Amino acid sequence: MKLNRPVGNALYAPLFLRQALGWYLILSGIVKLENLKGFIGEFQKLNVLPEHFATVYAIILPYGEILAGGLLVLGFLTTLGAFLAAFHGVTLIYAFGLFSSTGQLLSKDLIFLAAALSVLYSGAGAFSVDRFRETG
């Protein structure tokens, strides 16, 4: 085994990132929908948008997370799913900043954004609807 070579097929790297990002987004959207009124209130308290925009954004956000997550998990329209995930990451960084308020070195949102951009640039990879459509 050479330490400067991948240990496996590079097609699997996007698969691992897609699954991690996708399931995170799906679960995050579901949690927000379970208490949508509470989420809207918490988002408005951030004061990053005017109140009426914050309300609309907070209503749309969970559905966007579930949509993007589903696209990534399936590897269907992966570029769209990764773009939505990257946009979500940018909005989180805008709202909460680059540095975590919980004492962590960096915000997890920066890592989230980097993973979304990686999928955006690498494509769907193995075991995806997009790859099946390409080769079929």
Q: Which residues constitute the domain of residue 94?
A: 20-135
Residue 97 lies in a domain: yes
Residue 118 lies in a domain: yes
Residue 7 lies in a domain: no
Total number of domains constituting the chain: 1
Residue 55 lies in a domain: yes
Q: State both tokens at 35.
A: 């208490």
User: CB-based burial of residue 6 (10 Å sphere; 0-12 exposed, 13-18 middle, 19+ buried)?
Assistant: exposed
Q: State both tokens at 59.
A: 């209503």
The predicted pLDDT at position 3 comes to 84
The predicted pLDDT at position 118 comes to 95
Residue 3 lies in a domain: no
- Mean pLDDT by runs of 10 across the 136 residues of the chain is 82 94 97 96 89 92 97 97 95 79 74 94 93 83
The predicted pLDDT at position 125 comes to 92
The predicted pLDDT at position 100 comes to 62
The predicted pLDDT at position 19 comes to 97
Residue 46 lies in a domain: yes
The predicted pLDDT at position 22 comes to 97
3-class state of residue 129 by DSSP: helix
- The pTM score is 0.88
Residue 9 lies in a domain: no
Residue 6 lies in a domain: no
